[in-house]
Amino acid sequence: MRTRTTSLLALAAAAAIALSGCAASAAPEAATQTAADVVTIDDSWVKSADSGMSAAFGELKNSGTEDVTVVSAETPASSMIELHETVENDSGEMVMQPKDGGFVIPAGGSFMLEPGGNHIMLMDVVTPVKAGDTVTFTLTFSDGSTMDFAAPAKDYSGANESYEPDASMDMGDGE
């Protein structure tokens, strides 16, 4: 039994190697570019905050030939981060909520992060962010690649939309 199991595993491994080798040689050049290779951010900045919530902004640009998706973000400044959009709720108020599916940056286009719109939400600032500080962020894309960027902190009185995390749940869960 042991011998048979081993040889089956060896066969499976050989098949896997053959498949991956084949895929690598057949893949077009462009497919070897990760999202991180083609995405940049312009005019990044983060709103200063001593604690609680804050947000980061900028213009994400995609120089590639395929849409790319930001699925998550991290920063040492906040213990938790969400990707937010700002929408009008049933009462006509502008509220923010997690953006379903992440931030999609169109091929050859850009995706704006700005007060009153989409933003990277720092849910719980753990280290005070003062004007003039530089805060680092790491974005993770749907292909698993990551991109770091630095954002200078500025004092800003806007971007105080209320947070309605339940709003997205009203849209129903297909799963």
Query: Of the two residues 121 and 135, which places its CB atom closer to Cu ion in the complex?
Result: 121
Q: What tokens does 63 get? A: 């120089």
CB of 157 to Cu ion, least distance (A): 16
Helix (H, G, I), strand (E, B) or coil at 39: strand
CB of 76 to Cu ion, least distance (A): 19
Closest CA to 75 of 120, 110, 141, 113: 120
CB of 87 to Cu ion, least distance (A): 11
Query: Of the two residues 36 and 87, which places its CB atom closer to Cu ion in the complex?
Result: 87
Please name the residue that has the structure tokens 């938790």: 80
In angstroms, how far is CA 56 from the centroid of its own chain?
12
Query: Of the two residues 73 and 121, which places its CB atom closer to Cu ion in the complex?
Result: 121
Which amino acid is residue 157, in one-letter code?
S
User: What are the residues binding Cu ion (CB under 5 A)?
Assistant: 84, 96, 121
Please name the residue that has the structure tokens 């933003």: 119
Query: Of the two residues 59 and 66, which places its CB atom closer to Cu ion in the complex?
Result: 59
CB of 96 to Cu ion, least distance (A): 4
Cβ pair 57, 110 in contact under 8 A: no
